[in-house]
Amino acid sequence: MEFNFLIVIICSYVIGSIPSGLVLGKGIWHVDLREHGSKNIGATNAWRTLGKFPGFVIFLADLIKGLLGVYLGMTLVGSSMAMILGGILAIVGHSASIFLKLKGGKGVATGLGVLIMLMPKVSVCVFFIWLIIVMISKYVSLASIVAAAFVPILAYAFDMPMEFVIFGIVAAIFVIYRHKTNIVRLLNGNENKIKAGHAIHNG
């Protein structure tokens, strides 16, 4: 059991660390996202830099990392704590990748993947909250921050186990903290609004 826990921790972190945006951006569209837009390797910068379809593909790849983290905990150990741990390590890996000198994305898509596995009803509600705010404000960062804040609230409202509510609190704090520079720009009125770009081909 302890060995399986260790496997979940290591594998979830390594899977989360795979820089989907960097790998897919360079491998398919020949673009290093770290050199464009916000310099972030996540789906939002991919959307702005490469276009809607590449942005969606990278979003999906990041989301799958969260799914796999929880799945490892579920299959190798089988406890809710192992599932939560696998999910958290996938998010941490995405945000502090071992392959990028502990740099990475902001954990929103990967976090949604974790949420889908742990709390499907909450994930649907959170996604629609995010979508509505994006459609109204055009600020992905604002939508992500508000949606993250609603995770523990909705987990409690849906009467989820306390460990899931605590996970929601931890995940919300982590995602909001990762958006600290966005919060400053939102307050200053100079945050970038979402706008799909066009695929760039370098070489």
Q: Which of 4, 32, 20, 151 is nearest to 93 (CA)?
A: 20
Element (H, E) at 96: none
140-149 pLDDT tens trace? 999 999 999 9
Q: What is the pLDDT of residue 199?
A: 53
Q: Which of 97, 131, 89, 147 is nearest to 114 (CA)?
A: 89
Domain spans, the chain: 2-188
Q: What is the pLDDT of residue 198?
A: 56
Q: Quick one: tokens of 198?
A: 């066009």
Q: What is the pLDDT of residue 2?
A: 86
Q: What is the pLDDT of residue 12?
A: 98
Q: What is the pTM of this model?
A: 0.92
Residue 203 has pLDDT above 50, yes or no: no
